[in-house]
Amino acid sequence: NSRLSPRMAVVGASPTAEISNKLRALAARGADVINLGEGELDFATPRHVCEAGIQAIRDGDTKYTAVSGTAALKAAIARKFERENGLRYAPSEIIAGTGAKQLIFNAFLATLGEGDEVIVPAPYWVSYPDMIRLAGAKPVIVPCHARDGWKLTPEALAAALTPRTRWVILNSPNNPTGAVYGRSELSALEEVLAGHDALVMADDIYEHIVHDGSFVAPAAAMPRLAGRVLTINGVSKGYSMTGWRLGYAGGPEWLIRAMDVLQSQSTSNPSTISQAATIAALDGDLSFLDGWKRTLLARREQVLSAIAAITGLSALPTPGAFYVFADCTGLFGRRTPAGTVLASDLDVAGYLLEEAHVGMVHGSAFGMPGHLRIAYAIDDGRLAEALSRVAAALGRLA
């Protein structure tokens, strides 16, 4: 449409939202669909967090606040960073926004222009490249490999850095692979980055969902890069608060100030109700997470053993988040009952959607063709049903 800005040519709808739309269309036709495509926990937001939100409404805490969040929220974020990550930020180095997504977008918009490059290790969260393009810059996709635990190696990083590199993205635990970077791996990347002036975006949004090993905040593990790491986090994943839309970031004051300016001219402060609930979440007890993680771990094992039993699919154990990233190249060349030969991850995902009414996101959406992302944060019984339908549908291939 000629009324649209040329800017719209560089951006596409989120593929995860597209899968959900297709599933909704199937469901509207009466199909019993199961969505393993959504990056969202099925648990309810903890009660004490909800109560704090309700109390905020009762107290009339329903008006504009400072664009970057209330002083009370920033103090809770600063306490969280110090207690859980060993990071010290002044209030002027902290901003809260409408989800981590908005903060990432604002950070790119505030810093990128024509000719700039951002290193995006693949597989990556679907939104990074489009956000980078919207800001006028170029995503430099650096493929990571299963043999390296899906992690960026110092060699690959060094080879991708150029004088135009403005940012390097590190997402640990990673969406979609669940890879978690350890302290020594981060130190090795720090060594490479110390010789360059690129900013580092540490997207720590899955920090609380780690099954094997433990989480280390990149900003804490890379002290030599002090002053040029932006730590992105939020309550969506760790507290099952995706709908509350509250993310936060800690980083250099000049950058936080610029993000604040952009926010002041676009969305303004995040919801006051969500801000109050987030204070309760960050200051509150985290013991509820033990039960969640036990449940998620059992589901991960359920998915991994189902995959191990299917010829043509394989996957590594995923240390963090709530995804399994399965290789489906072993199915290529097989023929569906309707006579189509499967030749790509998109074909396999499409076949499973049509034949099993199970939705998964194809790996190409994350920059890694030949794979499927299985989000297992759904009810155990439904997960078992989905996995047996997938096995049955794949069993019908010739």
Which chain residues interact with ligand PLP by CB under 6 A?
39, 99-101, 125, 171, 175, 203, 205, 234, 236, 242, 247
Tokens matching residue 253: 């004051």
Task: Give the nearer residue to ligand PLP in terms of CB position, either 211 or 357.
Answer: 211
**Taking a C-beta distance cutoff of 8 angstroms, is the pair 135, 156 a contact?**
no
Task: Give the nearer residue to ligand PLP in terms of CB position, either 175 or 272.
Answer: 175
CB of 208 to ligand PLP, least distance (A): 13
Give the chain's length.
Answer: 398
Amino acid at 1: N
Tokens matching residue 60: 């009339």
Task: Give the nearer residue to ligand PLP in terms of CB position, either 296 or 356.
Answer: 296
CB of 173 to ligand PLP, least distance (A): 9
Task: Give the nearer residue to ligand PLP in terms of CB position, either 70 or 233.
Answer: 233
CB of 386 to ligand PLP, least distance (A): 20
Residue 304 burial (CB count, 10 A):
19
DSSP of 61-72, one letter per residue?
Answer: --S---TT--HH
**Cα 193 from Cα 190, distance rounded (Å):** 5
The values of phi and psi at residue 379, to 5°, are: -45, 135
Q: What single-letter DSSP state applies at residue 235?
A: S
Which residue bears the tokens 């939104």? 127
CB of 104 to ligand PLP, least distance (A): 6
Task: Give the nearer residue to ligand PLP in terms of CB position, either 242 or 314.
Answer: 242
**Cα 285 from Cα 281, distance rounded (Å):** 8
CB of 91 to ligand PLP, least distance (A): 21
Residue nearest to ligand PLP (CB): 99
**Taking a C-beta distance cutoff of 8 angstroms, is the pair 329, 342 a contact?**
no
Catalogue the E-assigned strands of 71-164: 94-97, 117-122, 138-143
CB-count exposure of residue 159 (10 Å: 0-12, 13-18, 19+)? exposed
Tokens matching residue 61: 């805490």
Q: How far is CA 122 from CA 139, 281, 371, in A?
A: 11, 31, 12
CB of 200 to ligand PLP, least distance (A): 15
SS3 state at 147:
helix
Task: Give the nearer residue to ligand PLP in terms of CB position, either 65 or 175.
Answer: 175
Task: Give the nearer residue to ligand PLP in terms of CB position, either 251 or 312.
Answer: 251
**Cα 112 from Cα 166, distance rounded (Å):** 7
CB of 282 to ligand PLP, least distance (A): 14
Task: Give the nearer residue to ligand PLP in terms of CB position, either 121 or 149.
Answer: 121
Task: Give the nearer residue to ligand PLP in terms of CB position, either 153 or 175.
Answer: 175
CB of 236 to ligand PLP, least distance (A): 3
Catalogue the E-assigned strands of 322-383: 323-327, 358-359, 361-362, 371-375
The values of phi and psi at residue 36, to 5°, are: -105, 30
CB of 247 to ligand PLP, least distance (A): 4
